[in-house]
Structure formats: structure tokens, C-alpha cells
Amino acid sequence: MMGWGANSDQQEWRKGPWTPEEDKLLSEYVNLHGEGRWSSVASCAGLNRTGKSCRLRWVNYLRPGLKRGHITPQEEGIIIELHALWGNKWSTIARYLPGRTDNEIKNYWRTHFKKKEKASLKQDKRKVLRQKNQLQQNGTTKFSPQAEEVTIKSDGNDNENQDMVEFNYHPSMDQEPVVELPPVTTSSDISYAWTDNFPMDGLWGGLWNLDDHSQASDKCKVAIRNQPATASCSYATDYAVNLYNGGFLI
DNA sequence: AAACTCTCCAACCGCCCCGAG
DNA sequence: GCTCGGGGCGGTTGGAGAGTT
């Protein structure tokens, strides 16, 4: 692709850390012309940077209103909850955290939560093997998530051998949800279209396709990795949060 | 004090989407 | 409908500084 300021002269674009002078040039350009047209920044502002690099610098560092400093506990809570719903949709999550960039959230998540997952993997692994055997012996299993802890899968590897389970649950204000577990399957047993729509993120547990409280659907699909399900809930969204709580936060 | 590890975060890369022509 | 460039996004890398052994 020839975009982002590349040109036919095979110009050597500057890379690496931005200097204060470059920041000044970029800020002046954006203040004058507004955001967008990044590919023309190089020629107009006298910056030897690709448009892509300019955009990133502006969005993640120079843009007014950006917060500095550590993520607050409140922000962390929001991140956790939204990640439970959307997975690695960092830009989407960032929209709910004014002043924070997707890059910042992404970095925060990786440094703070990836390691938690690793630490829990060994512990999970033992549970998984035991409970997986039980499930396979019983065939389709009904259980109350409040009454029984179920771990579906732990392989200690981010991308291999993901197991997923389809939960049928029946939202009701008055009764505990009943979750029907088919025999534990591998990802290859699940509809490929579904895994396409809801790619796993390789972190704690991907929770996808969660029904809104207002929706009448009695079924939600949950993909779980390395995740003890200890939730008690009436709705899928509650379930998502509880999965997290049951897994690592409490 | 030195070596090592961890954390933070800026920046780059590759891929994808979308709109214009 | 197709191509292409602009723009956006998620994944990854690497350096700097802090903390630990």
C-alpha cells in the first residue's frame, strides 16, 4: 500500500522517539488544520514522519484532554467489566474512559492481568483434568453454577486446544439459572461461524454474545478458557462479571 | 554494587475496513 | 464491481527506569 505518506522516492522516514520539535510541529499542524489528512502532515508540517506515525503520536500523546498517571481503581473496574463483555476491543473500551487511549488500556491490561492468568494456570490445570473427566463420563450435565465450580479448560497455552462449551440458560428473576453442559468438546466441535464471530482473545476468559437483560433469548454462548465458573446469576451479563470474580479478582 | 527481573509505555507493524473514483 | 488510498485497530516489540536478589 502506498498510503501513510510513502512516496515513490523511497524516502527514508524517521522512526523512533519523537523530539519536542516534532511534537511542536505536529501540534501546530493539527491545531491549524484539524485531525485527519495525516498523510499530508509530512509535506505540510515539515515532518519526516509517515502519516500513520503522526496520527499515532497525536492520538496517544499530544491530543488535548489525555489523562496522565496511573489507572485508578475505578477505571480498572470499568476496564475489567468491559473487557468481559467485548474482549480485546481496546478502542471501544477506551471510549468509556475519557482521557485514556486504547494503547494505554491495552498496555495496562497486558502488564496487570496477563500475569495473573499465568499464575492461575497451574492451579487450574489440575482442576480441569479432574472435572473434565467427570463431565465426559456423565455426558450432558446439568448444574447450578452457584452450587458447583466447573472449570472447562486449561492447557497453559494461549492459542492451542481451546475448549468451549455452549451454555443453555434460562433467565428468570426468581430462579437460579440452569446451565446445561454438553460433553466437553474441543473448539472444532463448535460451529466455525460462531468462532469466527467471536474470536478468542487468549486471556482469562472470553465472554461473548451476552444477552441484554431486555432480550428474551433463553440462550447464551460462553467461551471459556482457563476459567473457573463459580457464578450465580440470572443474566448473561451478570454471569460474565461473576466469572471474573470467581476466577481471579476475589 | 552488580546483575537480574519486572513494569511501564511509546512506537511500530500488519491487517482490515471503508469510501471515493 | 473493482481498485486503491486513508484511516483505524489490535498485536507486538524494545528501551528505560524501578525494584529485587
Per-residue pLDDT tens over the stretch A126-169? 444 444 444 444 433 332 332 222 233 333 333 333 333 233 33
Distance A27 CA to C17 C1' (A): 28
Name the grid cell of A157: 497455552
pTM of the model: 0.55
CA A54 to chain centroid: 26
| C-alpha cell recorded at residue A198 | 467471536
Please report residues contacting nucleic strand C, using a CB cutoff of 7 A: A 1-5, 35-39, 51-52, 55-56, 88-92, 102-103, 106-107, 110, 201
d(CA A223, CA A57): 36
Q: Which three cell numbers stand for residue A185?
A: 468438546
Mean pLDDT, chain A, integer:
54
* Measured CA A60 to C1' B13 distance, in angstroms: 17
Answer yes or no: is pLDDT of A106 > 50: yes
Bases of strand C lying below 7 A from some protein CB: 4-13
CA distance A224 to A95: 26
Query: Any idea which nucleotide's C1' is nearest the CA of A107?
Result: B9
